């Protein structure tokens, strides 16, 4: 079953139209209309007659979000096609300090309904063009406890969640549509199938230590099941198979100009590494397997220009990362690099919108004949219509899909909708 896409798109034209014709701010002393209150409210469905506010005050924070990608491959690839992909996510977060007097403790549980089809099947590329596609099933997503201690200098999380939720997180200025950058852990997952990205989760834990305002160190360990794509228990695969291994990861982040009283341009720089203990088949001898796989990464994000008088993130930021997996006999993509530019508030009167361009490069193993590199160029513009609705036109151009020169370069156009209920 698919959501009624035409009806949904029709409903979403209402806030777009109203924002365009009713853009003037409310005058001082004038009460906002019910439409203005709705457009600036916490979600499309409002405050639920006060229920949302009451629940939050009690310590229960509900969240319902919907993400969808509507795309078409208009040129090249394996064949021309169009596709829809969507994810409905329902999350409940319990503040145990408010509910049970346990300071810093929270409990999170969420579920996900994924639907649609994968346009990349018609392109033949590796880095999925649709962030919203992740199969077609209803599944349990997160189920974890989180404890924050010592004035947030120590943050511990344990239970079921995705590794990509806390490690190799993408740029803060925009959510690009291609999965190579959002979530970036997908790149590691190509080489290490047991790694999880949302809405798939696994048992694990992570610890964040912040010894200073400028430095944080994060370490985590997770159960790693290489058959992740074959699991069919709707996210309730709670058993741990002793024959499978673990995935360990750690990263250190330097936070520039983000402490108390900082006035300079903010940025952060990160170095990390990972190890998976499972066995991996060799490209040179498929009958043999090698124990263990590992890799390293560097990332950086820096604001390079801030608009005069801006109090938020208005201005230009640059982002880049490199991921390296040395063992070419077992890693299909040992080299990955990306760079992205994002400008918040590029157009007058659109202070929250973000325009971005990104370039992704994936170099294939020399032991995979006929495959060299895949290169993707993405342009996108996130139009923040209301606090709960973002409409994001997107264009992607893919060179050498799956690293094969025999497959024509592809052009993908589409739009992503992000909706908070």
Q: How confident is the model at residue 184 (pLDDT cuts 50, 70, 90)?
A: confident
The residue segments making up the domain with residue 21 are: 1-40
Span between the terminal Cα atoms of the chain, in Å:
20
- The answer on 94 and 26 residing in a single domain is no
The mean pLDDT value for 46-68 works out to 93
User: Is 221 part of a structural domain of the chain?
Assistant: yes
Same domain, 290 and 369: yes
Tokens standing for residue 344 = 């918040």
Q: Are residues 246 and 206 in the same domain?
A: yes
Q: How far apart are CA 111 and CA 71, in angstroms?
A: 25
Same domain, 197 and 130: yes
Q: Rounded to whole angstroms, how far apart are CA atoms 186 and 122? A: 19
pTM beyond 0.85: the answer is: yes
pLDDT at 17 > cutoff 50: no
Assess if residue 365 is contained within a domain.
Answer: yes
* % of the chain surpassing 90 pLDDT: 72
pLDDT digits (tens, 9 = 90+) for 266-286: 999 999 999 999 999 999 988
pLDDT at position 181 is 78
Domain assignment present for residue 273? The answer is: yes
3-state helix, strand, coil in the chain (%, to 5): 15, 50, 40
**Do 368 and 343 share a structural domain?**
yes
3-state secondary structure of 198: coil
Q: What is the pLDDT of residues 61-117, one digit of tens each?
A: 999 999 999 999 999 999 999 999 999 999 999 999 999 999 999 999 999 999 999
Domain-embedded: residue 48: no
pLDDT of residue 12: 53
Checking if the pLDDT of 21 tops 80, the result is: no
**How much is the pLDDT for 356?**
95
- Say if residue 10 is in the same domain as residue 94: no
Neighbour-count burial of 47, counting CB atoms closer than 10 A to its CB (0-12 exposed, 13-18 middle, 19+ buried): middle
102: how many CB neighbours lie within 10 A of its CB?
A: 13
Whether residues 299 and 164 share a domain: the answer is yes
Instruction: Sort 419 into a burial class: Cβ within 10 Å, 0-12 / 13-18 / 19+.
Output: buried
Flag whether 369 is in a domain: yes
Number of domains in the chain: 2
In this structure, the answer to whether residues 60 and 36 fall within a common structural domain is no
For residues 5 and 96, state if they share a domain: no
CATH code: domain of residue 364:
2.40.160.180
Specify which residues 366 forms β-bridges with: none
Following DSSP, what letter does each residue of 125-184 receive, concatenated? -SS-S-TT---SEEEEEEEEEEEEETTTTEEEEEEEE-GGGTSS---SS---SSTTTTTT
What pLDDT shows up at residue 295?
97
H/E stretch holding 98 reads: helix 96-100
Residue 45 belongs to a domain? no
Q: Are residues 27 and 168 in the same domain?
A: no
Q: Enter the tokens of residue 345.
A: 């508030």
Is 46 within the bounds of a domain?
no
Mean residue pLDDT across the chain: 89
Shared domain for 25 and 167, answered yes or no, is no
Residues 69 and 185 in one domain: yes
Q: Pull the structure tokens for residue 227.
A: 């058959």
For residue 322, being part of any structural domain is answered with yes
Q: What is the pLDDT of residue 310?
A: 67
């Amino acid at each position: 079953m698919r959501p009624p896409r035409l009806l949904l798109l029709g409903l979403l034209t209402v806030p777009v139209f109203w924002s365009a014709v009713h853009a003037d701010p409310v005058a001082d002393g004038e009460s906002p209309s019910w439409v203005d209150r709705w457009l600036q409210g916490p979600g499309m469905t409002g405050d639920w007659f006060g229920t949302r506010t009451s629940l939050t005050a009690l310590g229960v924070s509900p969240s319902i979000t919907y993400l969808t990608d509507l795309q078409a491959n208009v040129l090249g690839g394996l064949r021309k096609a169009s596709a829809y992909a969507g994810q409905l996510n329902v999350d409940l977060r319990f503040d145990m300090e408010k509910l049970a007097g346990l300071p810093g403790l929270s409990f999170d549980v969420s579920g996900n309904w994924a639907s649609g089809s994968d346009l990349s099947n018609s392109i033949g590329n590796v880095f999925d063009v649709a962030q919203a596609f992740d199969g077609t099933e209803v599944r349990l997503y997160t189920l974890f406890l989180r404890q924050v201690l010592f004035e947030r200098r120590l943050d511990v999380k344990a239970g079921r969640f995705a590794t990509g939720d806390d490690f190799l997180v993408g740029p803060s200025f925009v959510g690009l549509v291609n999965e190579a950058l959002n979530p970036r852990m997908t790149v590691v997952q190509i080489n290490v199938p047991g790694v999880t990205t949302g809405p798939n989760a696994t048992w694990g834990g992570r610890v964040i230590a912040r010894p200073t305002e400028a430095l944080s160190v994060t370490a985590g360990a997770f159960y790693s099941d290489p058959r992740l794509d074959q699991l069919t228990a709707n996210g309730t695969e709670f058993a741990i198979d002793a024959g499978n291994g673990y995935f360990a990861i750690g990263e250190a982040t330097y936070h520039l100009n983000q402490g108390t009283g900082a006035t300079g341009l903010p940025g952060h720089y990160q170095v990390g590494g990972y190890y998976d203990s499972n066995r991996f088949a060799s490209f040179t001898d498929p009958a043999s397997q090698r124990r263990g796989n590992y890799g390293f990464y560097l990332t950086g994000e820096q604001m390079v220009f801030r608009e005069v008088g801006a109090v938020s993130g208005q201005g230009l930021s640059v982002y880049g990362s490199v991921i390296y997996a040395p063992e070419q006999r077992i890693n299909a993509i040992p080299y990955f690099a990306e760079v992205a530019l994002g400008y918040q508030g590029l157009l007058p009167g659109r202070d929250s919108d973000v325009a971005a361009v990104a370039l992704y490069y994936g170099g294939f193993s020399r032991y995979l004949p006929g495959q060299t590199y895949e290169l993707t160029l993405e342009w996108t513009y996130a139009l923040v219509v209301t606090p709960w609705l973002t409409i994001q036109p997107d264009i992607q151009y893919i060179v050498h899909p799956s690293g094969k020169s025999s497959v024509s370069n592809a052009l993908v156009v589409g739009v992503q909708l992000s909706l908070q209920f």
